[in-house]
Structure 1
C-alpha cells in the first residue's frame, strides 16, 4: 500500500458568508421536504384509503379487490408508502444536522477570526508600548557576581 499524504491546504480559505448561504440553502431544502413532499405523502395515504362512503362488503377486501393478488399488491403499496415516510423523516433529520454542522463551522471561524483580531491588536499594543532596545556601545555588561 502507498503512503497517505496529508491534503494540500496551501491555498485554503474559508468564506463565512458562503457557509451562512449554504446553511440557508439546506434549511430551504429541509422545508421543502417537510412541507411539500410530506404533504404529498399525506395526500397519497388519503387517496389510498379509497372511498369511505362505499365500504368494502367483502371480508379482507382492499381498494384493489379481495383476491390474493390484490391483497399482496395492497400490502406492497402500504409497505412502500411507510418506507417512503421513514426515508423522508430520516432525510429531514439529516438535513437539520447538516444545517447545524454548517452553522457550527461558520461560528467557529467567526470566533477564530475575532480571537485572531484581538490577539493581533494586543500584540500591536505590546510592541508599541515596548521601549526601544538599548544602543550598543561595544562594551560587555557587568555582572554583580563572578563565576
Structure 2
C-alpha cells in the first residue's frame, strides 16, 4: 500500500474573485438551511403535535395510537426529528465556518498580492537608483577587485 502523494501545485493559480463568489454561494446555502429547511422542520414538529382541540382520551396515547408498537414508533419519530434538528444546526455552523475560512483565504491572497506589488515597486526603485555598471573594460573601475 503506497503513500498518498501531495498534489502537483506547479501551475496553481488563485482567483480571489472566485473565492469571493464561493463564499457568497456558501452563505446562500447557509441561508437556505437556516430559513427554508429549518422552517419546514418546525412545521413538521407542529404537525406531529396533532390536533390540540381533540386531546387524547386514552392514557399514554400518541397520534399513532396507544398500543405499545404505536408508542415505540412515536418515540422513534420524535428521536429522528430531534436528530435532524441537531444535524441542521451542525450543518449551519459548518457552513458558517466554511464561509469564514473562504473569506480568510481570499483576504490572505489579497494581502499577499498587495505585498508582492509593493515589493515589486521597491525592487524597481532600487534598480533604477543603482549606479550603472562601468562601460569600460578596465578592471580598475570595478568596485570589488583585489
What TM-score do the two structures reach when normalised by structure 2?
0.90
- The alignment partner of 2:31 has SS state of helix
Task: Tell me which stretches of 4 or more aligned residues in structure 1 moved more than 6 Å.
Answer: none
Contiguous gaps of at least 5 residues in structure 1 = 142-147
Shift of 1:73: 0.7
What TM-score do the two structures reach when normalised by structure 1?
0.90
1:15/1:75 Cα in 2 relative to 1: closer, same or farther (>3 Å)? same
Counterpart CA distance in 2 for 1:78 and 1:3 is 45
Counterpart CA distance in 2 for 1:37 and 1:3 is 41
1:49/1:101 Cα in 2 relative to 1: closer, same or farther (>3 Å)? same
Contiguous gaps of at least 5 residues in structure 2 = 142-146
Counterpart CA distance in 1 for 2:136 and 2:3 is 53
Give the root-mean-square deviation of aligned CA atoms: 1.7
Q: Which residue of 2 aligns with 1:115?
A: 115
Q: Which residue of 2 aligns with 1:29?
A: 29
Q: Does 1:66 align with 2:36?
A: no
Q: Which residue of 2 aligns with 1:85?
A: 85
1:126/1:88 Cα in 2 relative to 1: closer, same or farther (>3 Å)? same
> What does 1:102-141 align with in structure 2 at a 5 Å threshold?
102-140=102-140
Shift of 1:3: 5.6
